[in-house]
Every structure is written in structure tokens, then in C-alpha cells.
């Protein structure tokens, strides 16, 4: 018996047993999406990014580079997650047009952390707990 894992070990580490590739709004092939995650057709997910577990991504959000959204995190509207950023736990990230919420670099947002309109979290910053 032979097993072929198309997503590589990163996909397994993300808890995906049956991952699917996201199709971006422009028709390009996007990153891996967990079978339990909810990702809207309006969302752009770069091929190196992942949406894992029961995470939700909606609106005009963009998950770029090798960013990860996982667990029960919610990313919506004009949020931009890029670089090696991770959104996890019950974290919430939301921007609006012309005032995106941006999480980038090696930043981590988890627990009940909230990143809202016009905020940028960058470098090695960590937002967690009940911060908002």
C-alpha cells in the first residue's frame, strides 16, 4: 500500500486529514484549507498559507505568504495576514476598506486577542488573552 500526501508535513502538522486547495477569486490555486474550516469564495489565500481546524475567514480578507489561521480564529472583512504570522485560539481580526487590520512578520495573535480596524501588529509581537 502506498500513501501520497499532497500537502506535505506542514499540512499534517496543521491537523488536516483531508485538506483541499482554495480557489482564489481570480481563479488561481490557493493554500490548503481544513475540511472543517470556512473560507469564503471572496477570500485570497496564497499557495503557501493555510486555514486549519475550525477557523473562519470571510469578506475580502487576504491570507498571504506562509501565514496560518487556525483553531477557532475568525478573520474577516479587509484583514491582511501575511509573512509567517499566526492567528489562533479564538482570536478575531477585522479591518474595513481603506483601514485594514494587518498582522505580519512573525506576529502571533491568539487566545481571545482582537485586532481591529486600522491596527498593524508586526515583527515578533504577540497579542493574546483578552486583549483588544
**DSSP β-bridge partners for residue 50:** 32, 68
In 10 A of CB 18, how many CB atoms?
7
Give the pLDDT of residue 24. 98
Query: Per-residue pLDDT tens for 64-86?
Result: 999 999 999 999 999 999 999 99
In the predicted structure, residue 113 carries a pLDDT above the cut 80? yes
Give the pLDDT of residue 5. 36
Query: Per-residue pLDDT tens for 53-66?
Result: 999 999 999 999 99
Cα four-point dihedral sign 117, 110, 73, 60? positive
Give the pLDDT of residue 102. 98
In the predicted structure, residue 101 carries a pLDDT above the cut 80? yes
Total length of the chain: 132
**What is the model's pTM?**
0.89
Amino acid at each position: 500500500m502506498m500513501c501520497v500526501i499532497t500537502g506535505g508535513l506542514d499540512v499534517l502538522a496543521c491537523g488536516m486529514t483531508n485538506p483541499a486547495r482554495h480557489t482564489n477569486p481570480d481563479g488561481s490555486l490557493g493554500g490548503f484549507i481544513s475540511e472543517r474550516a470556512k473560507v469564503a469564495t471572496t477570500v485570497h489565500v496564497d499557495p503557501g498559507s493555510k486555514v486549519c481546524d475550525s477557523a473562519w475567514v470571510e469578506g475580502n480578507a487576504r491570507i498571504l505568504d506562509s501565514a496560518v489561521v487556525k483553531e477557532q480564529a475568525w478573520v474577516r472583512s479587509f484583514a491582511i495576514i501575511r509573512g509567517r504570522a499566526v492567528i489562533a485560539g479564538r482570536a478575531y481580526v477585522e479591518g474595513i476598506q481603506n483601514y485594514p487590520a494587518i498582522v505580519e512578520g512573525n506576529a502571533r495573535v491568539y487566545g481571545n486577542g482582537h485586532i481591529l480596524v486600522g491596527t498593524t501588529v508586526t515583527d515578533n509581537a504577540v497579542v493574546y488573552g483578552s486583549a483588544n
